[in-house]
Amino acid sequence: YILFTLILSSTFSIRMLLDTASDVETDLKEDIDKARQAVSYLVSRNTDELTKEHIVSATIESLTENITDSYISPVFYFMIISIIGIFTDSYAVLFILILIPFNYRIFNTLDAMVGYKTDELIDIGFVPAKIDDILNYIPSRIAGLFVVLSAFCLNFDYKNSYKILKRDARNCPSPNSGFTMASAAGALNIQLIKLDTYILGDNNKNIETSDIGRAVKLSKLAIFLFTVTIFLFIIILYVIL
């Protein structure tokens, strides 16, 4: 069980996700060129000439989008198989429990690496991109709602978070990535912009470097609340059954 836990934990990454975003915030306070380099590790867009506002936006976009990819989706599918495991004592269930989040991460990583509509990649990236869209469909919407709940707990603008979630979540080319990004934009009362691709939220205030730290708090709490919810759900279900 110890080995199983260690293997399962390798299918998601929380600390690196949060620390990388915080590093960009720190670099941005010191040197914008250093921040451009740091944010290039998070996004696929060209960062060489990004302004401070666009660096902050890109960081928050990547951070909040990866709430789903880096944690909620693999744990969600682990939960589904865990529920099945409650009804059986077979050790085969343990192997299935490991394989499900691993296979999710495989398709998610392939989508990130080759899931682009370029002449070079469109043929090999089409299948993993579509499978990733299917696998993230439910978890991304759950994640968006947990961002709204986290905004409420942190005394951020949770009403605007839910409003922007409903209004702008489908503005992105991806059918899933907009749900956490839009709800975060609403909670922080900022506008997230990827040039020539999408705009999420209203321009209620100027986006600032400190908004990265607020987005980190929001993401951290959303992950925590989701974990607690899943944990309690499985325990209650186990006791009842």
> How much is the pTM?
0.88
Nearest Cα to Cα of residue 42 among 227, 29, 27, 141: 27
17 CB-near residues (< 8 Å, 6+ apart): 63, 66, 70, 71, 219
Indicate if the pLDDT at residue 77 is higher than 80: yes
Query: pLDDT tens digits, residue range 157-173?
Result: 999 999 999 999 999 98
Higher pLDDT, 82 or 197: 197
- How many distinct structural domains can be found in the chain? 1
Beta bridge partners of 192: 200
Q: pLDDT, tens digit, for every residue of 88-146?
A: 666 666 666 667 777 777 777 777 777 666 667 677 777 878 888 888 999 999 999 99
Which conformational region is residue 155 in: left (phi greater than 0), alpha (psi within -120 to 50 degrees), or beta? Answer: left
Beta-bridge mates of residue 200: 192
Tokens of 118: 């370029």
| Structural domain boundaries enclosing 33 | 2-240
Among 25-29, 36-40, 74-78, 225-229, where is mean pLDDT lowest?
Answer: 74-78
Phi/psi zone of residue 201: left (φ > 0), alpha (ψ -120 to 50 degrees), beta? left
